[in-house]
Amino acid sequence: MNRRQFLAAPAATLLAGPALGQNARSKTLRFVPQANLSSLDPIWTSAHIARNHGYLVYDTLYAMDRGYQMHPQMAAGHSIEDDGLRWIITLREGLAFHDGEPVRARDAVASIRRWAQRVAFGQKLMSVTEELSALDDRRIQFRLKKPFPLLPNALGLAGQPPFIMPERIARTDAFRQITDPTGSGPFRFKPDEYISGDRAIYERNAAYVPRPDGTPSFVAGPKRALLDRIEWRIITDAGTASAALQAGEIDWFEQPAFELTQLFARNRNIRVSALDSAGTNGFLRLNHLHAPFDDKRARQAVLRATKQEDFLIADFGTDPAFWRTGTGVFTPGGPMANDAGLEWVSGPQDIARSQALLREAGRAGALARLLGATDIPSIAARGPVAADLLQRLGFELDFSESDWGTLLQRRNSREPLDKGGWSAIFSGFTAYDFADPASHPLLRGNGLDGYLGWPTIPQLETLREQWFDAPDEASRKAIARDIQRVALEEVCYIPTGTGLSRTALRADLQDRLEGFPVFWNLRRG
């Protein structure tokens, strides 16, 4: 069972197959996600736990299949006029929000506008848009400044798509979290049963109208929910979650630590498999706004001293079959993967040279604050590795650990260290997120308008624009080489390798799931 058999919410909504059974228990999935659902807003945060929630509750205009191709989802289709300068997208009939109100074009317009303020691909789309408007209740119009054939790719961005919300909610400031989770997706969120840090509950939306055509593939195609209820059980203690799975009190443990998967593999009632067969791309992000990493030499010092293997072994174990070193800024094996500038990440670990760079930059012995999370096994495993690296380089380290929900709040701070800011964070993104410059959230050099860490790298922005304007795939691949070279030299972020996380679920559940088309599990490493 691989990632393409699971849903865009780790809880996995079953689709388009026979029911799991007729009794109430078999129609309920009890699931332990990899983190607490601390935010209900998948636009305000890029955390995959919120994105997983989003794919249950909301729907999208377009969606990506497993071959990176886009398909209409809420859209019935589109027309292109005026030499590519005018797109008209028509909504499918019968779409309705959970409150009974029909989905209208103006809801989509407001949702796209809010999303575009937070997501790099959306920012690019709006930069080439002269006008975005609702022509009537079912038709959305883009009038463009220049042709932009990647428009459906933006609206169907798998990583952080413009989930369609009611206009009254989508008008919320993009930098303030929404609290009303009304969507139009296959499941309704149950606010009355939601307790942050304990549970999140979803019930099947009986009024949902799936696409009438196609076959489910990745996040594209008809979404026919076969479960009546999905229960996210927030169990932050791995031992407790492990015992619950072995006792049959839960059905699925999304991301157990490597050591636990070895234990589960000896239990005939539990199946262990790869959570994401394409892997997770790990990263260490340094804060470019403030000392010590506002100086490129300090960032290069950390990059030169980083050994990807150390992070990968801590997270995925010693078997190299489950991880890959030499990872650049693009997903290995993806369309834009290349070897430009990889000497920055594949060369020998040189602590002495790195310490010399820090002295040259006047950052030797400087205070650095590393944020870590204790309740996500993969992040908890990498934390000591990052902390040890910074300490060996001579930083005065403040390793500040918390639960993931708290970290999500803290990492948004742009303040200096003496006012509660941070110096470094680490996490991971899925293969699809790092496939190319359009979807890659970390490959921006647009300062405060960009992703956490806020690097200002004008050359990177110029190359990214050239990539969008390139006439063909060969030209885009050539530019991707330059993008990787600049990103590594400027240390936009530090790649820490690509690995395969494991997941564990009841064997009888997997037996019933095998062969059924279901959504993919979009998860955050």
pLDDT at 57: 97
Q: How far apart are the first and last CA of the chain?
A: 18
**Residues with Cβ < 8 Å from 187, sequence gap 6 or more?**
9, 13, 56, 57, 202, 203, 204, 205, 225, 230
Stated as kind and residue range, the H or E segment containing 401 is strand 396-402
Stated as kind and residue range, the H or E segment containing 385 is helix 377-392
Rounded to two decimals, the pTM is 0.79
Angle subtended at Cα 124 by Cα 122 and Cα 129, rounded to the nearest 5 degrees: 90
Give the position of tokens 């929630």: 53
- pLDDT above 50 (res 518): no
**Residues with Cβ < 8 Å from 174, sequence gap 6 or more?**
43, 44, 114, 115, 117, 118
- The neighbour count for residue 21, using CB atoms within 10 Å, is 10
pLDDT category of residue 294 using cuts at 50, 70 and 90: very high
pLDDT at 473: 86
pLDDT category of residue 478 using cuts at 50, 70 and 90: very high
- pLDDT above 90 (res 414): yes
Tokens describing residue 163 = 């989930």
- pLDDT above 70 (res 110): yes
3-class DSSP state of 461? helix
pLDDT at 373: 93
Q: What is the DSSP string of 271-330?
A: EEEES-TT-EEEEEEE-SSSTTTTSHHHHHHHHHH--HHHHHHHHH-S-GGGEE-S--SS
Is-cis flag, bond preceding 292, omega within 30?
yes
Angle subtended at Cα 100 by Cα 97 and Cα 102, rounded to the nearest 5 degrees: 60
Percent of the chain with pLDDT over 70: 92
- The neighbour count for residue 185, using CB atoms within 10 Å, is 28
Tokens describing residue 322 = 């489950």
Pinpoint the alpha helices (H) of 9-104: 48-57
Pinpoint the alpha helices (H) of 58-183: 105-116, 120-127, 151-155, 167-170
| Edge-to-edge strand ranges of the sheet holding 252-253 | 187-189, 199-204, 229-233, 28-32, 252-253, 502-506, 270-274
pLDDT category of residue 462 using cuts at 50, 70 and 90: very high
pLDDT digits (tens, 9 = 90+) for 138-167: 999 999 999 999 999 999 998 899 999 999
pLDDT category of residue 415 using cuts at 50, 70 and 90: very high
For residues 224-238, average pLDDT: 91
Contact 7, 252 (CB under 8 A): no
Average confidence score pLDDT of the chain: 89
pLDDT at 376: 84
Question: Which has more pLDDT, 278 or 496?
Answer: 496
pLDDT at 141: 98
pLDDT at 511: 56
* Amino acid at the residue 60: T
Question: Quick one: the chain helix, strand, coil %, rounded to 5?
Answer: 30, 20, 45
For residues 279-303, average pLDDT: 96
Contact 219, 61 (CB under 8 A): no
Tokens describing residue 102 = 């029909």
For residues 195-205, average pLDDT: 96
- pLDDT above 50 (res 186): yes
Determine which of 107-111, 177-181, 336-340, 467-471 has the lowest per-residue pLDDT on average: 467-471
pLDDT at 431: 81
pLDDT at 26: 59
- pLDDT above 70 (res 510): no
pLDDT digits (tens, 9 = 90+) for 65-100: 877 789 999 999 999 999 999 999 999 999 999 999
CA pair distance 11, 34, nearest whole angstrom: 11
pLDDT category of residue 54 using cuts at 50, 70 and 90: very high
Angle subtended at Cα 295 by Cα 292 and Cα 297, rounded to the nearest 5 degrees: 105
| Edge-to-edge strand ranges of the sheet holding 367-373 | 323-324, 494-499, 280-286, 424-430, 367-373, 396-402
Which of 102-111, 257-266, 330-339, 370-379 reaches the highest mean pLDDT?
102-111
Tokens describing residue 248 = 């049959």
pLDDT digits (tens, 9 = 90+) for 297-306: 999 999 999 9
pLDDT at 203: 96
For residues 482-490, average pLDDT: 98
Percent of the chain with pLDDT over 90: 70
CA pair distance 178, 171, nearest whole angstrom: 10
Which candidate, 104, 45, 157, 42, places its Cα nearest to that of 452? 45
pLDDT category of residue 501 using cuts at 50, 70 and 90: confident
pLDDT category of residue 405 using cuts at 50, 70 and 90: confident
**Residues with Cβ < 8 Å from 205, sequence gap 6 or more?**
98, 184, 185, 186, 187, 188, 225
Angle subtended at Cα 13 by Cα 12 and Cα 16, rounded to the nearest 5 degrees: 130
pLDDT at 225: 85
- The neighbour count for residue 28, using CB atoms within 10 Å, is 17
pLDDT at 308: 96
Contact 148, 84 (CB under 8 A): yes
Q: Is 415 exposed, middle or buried (0-12, 13-18, 19+ CB in 10 A)?
A: exposed
